[in-house]
């Protein structure tokens, strides 16, 4: 049985974590399959948007601690100077689309528990839609260690909320997650995938080159100074000039018709 179901429907790729009996916890096999899926999605010019979800009653309950106990034991026996390289091999980071330089937008349809490494996986994507019963949390301190993404977490939600989640390990409800900006929308279970698909279709109406440029600017510009961010923006826009899509976009606007994007 495949631990990641990958289906392409037109310009949209549907990616489903398929380990429901373990709440889609990240074990080495699932992470390896997901890594291959991200590369396939990244390199396929026929698909422009991805939708990531989980089978069963959870999106992802985090790292499967039992299957990765050896890695955690190794962390206690190596020199501190090597921890950074070890953390890059942690399941949460290896499962992230950012680790494979995926430039296409990814919508996450969160259908239940979204914990630990599963929360990081959702945050490393771009837009998050959750069901009303979804729960978000970081349980790692209960195991005696901070989550591997702790230092980065404050970039995604207000600092005080990040502290609260990280040091109390209390979970956020979907409503609270929406209030602090962790998720974009809350929908009923039956509307989860339709809502994600509707949003994906709306994204597909835009120029894929422009959307990828937006993602690059948001990702790379997050920690830049204002002058550096403006310089990056100038560089990215300059690279788009002369493409078929930008000419098509201007012509379609003048001619009052929908554009036909080529992705080049």
Query: Domain with 169 in it: what CATH number?
Result: 3.90.226.10
Assess if residue 263 is contained within a domain. no
Both tokens of 133, joined, read 């019963």
Mean pLDDT of 38-43: 96
Average pLDDT, the chain: 89
Chain-centroid distance of CA 174 in Å reads: 17
227, 183: one domain: no
Residue 118, by phi and psi: left (phi above 0), alpha (psi -120 to 50) or beta? Answer: alpha
Give 40's contacts (C-beta < 8 A, 6+ positions apart): 6
Domain extent, residue 236, equals 208-254
114, 228: one domain: no
| Nearest partner of 103 among 185, 10, 220, judged by Cα | 220
| Nearest partner of 17 among 108, 79, 105, judged by Cα | 108
Q: At what angle do helices 226-240 and 208-221 cross, to 10 degrees?
A: 160
227, 146: one domain: no
Give 198's contacts (C-beta < 8 A, 6+ positions apart): none
20, 89: one domain: yes
189, 228: one domain: no
pLDDT in tens, 97-147: 999 999 999 999 999 999 999 999 999 999 999 999 999 999 988 888 888
Place of tokens 């929406």: 178
**How many Å apart are CA 220 and CA 239, to the nearest integer?**
16
β-partners of residue 15 are 6, 52
**How many Å apart are CA 247 and CA 243, to the nearest integer?**
7
Neighbours of 217 (CB within 10 A): 17
11, 111: one domain: yes
| Total count of domains within the chain | 2
Q: Predicted confidence band at 234 (pLDDT cuts at 50, 70, 90)?
A: confident
**How many Å apart are CA 131 and CA 150, to the nearest integer?**
25
**Residue 176: pLDDT above 50?**
yes
């Amino acid at each position: 049985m495949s631990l990641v179901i990958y289906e392409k429907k037109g310009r949209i790729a549907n990616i489903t974590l398929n380990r429901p009996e373990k709440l889609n916890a990240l074990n080495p096999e699932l992470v390896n399959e997901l890594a291959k899926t991200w590369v396939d999605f990244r390199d396929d010019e026929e698909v422009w948007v991805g939708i990531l979800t989980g089978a069963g009653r959870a999106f992802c309950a985090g790292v499967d601690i039992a299957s990765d106990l050896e890695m955690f034991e190794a962390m206690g026996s190596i020199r501190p100077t090597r921890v950074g390289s070890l953390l890059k091999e942690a399941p949460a980071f290896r499962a992230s689309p950012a680790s494979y330089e995926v430039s296409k937008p990814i919508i996450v349809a969160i259908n239940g528990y979204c914990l630990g490494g599963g929360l990081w996986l959702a945050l490393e994507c771009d837009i998050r839609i959750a069901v009303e019963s979804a729960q978000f949390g970081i349980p790692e301190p209960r195991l005696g260690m901070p989550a591997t993404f702790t230092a980065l977490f404050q970039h995604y939600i207000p600092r005080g909320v990040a502290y609260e989640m990280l040091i109390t390990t209390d979970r956020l409800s979907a409503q609270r997650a929406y209030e602090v900006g962790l998720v974009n929308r809350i929908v009923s279970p039956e509307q989860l995938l339709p809502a994600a698909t509707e949003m994906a279709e709306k994204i597909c109406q835009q120029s894929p080159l422009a959307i990828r440029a937006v993602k690059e600017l948001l990702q790379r510009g997050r920690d830049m100074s204002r002058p550096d961010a403006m310089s990056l923006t100038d560089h990215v826009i300059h690279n788009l000039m002369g493409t078929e899509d930008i000419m098509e976009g201007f012509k379609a606007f003048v001619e009052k018709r929908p554009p036909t994007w080529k992705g080049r």
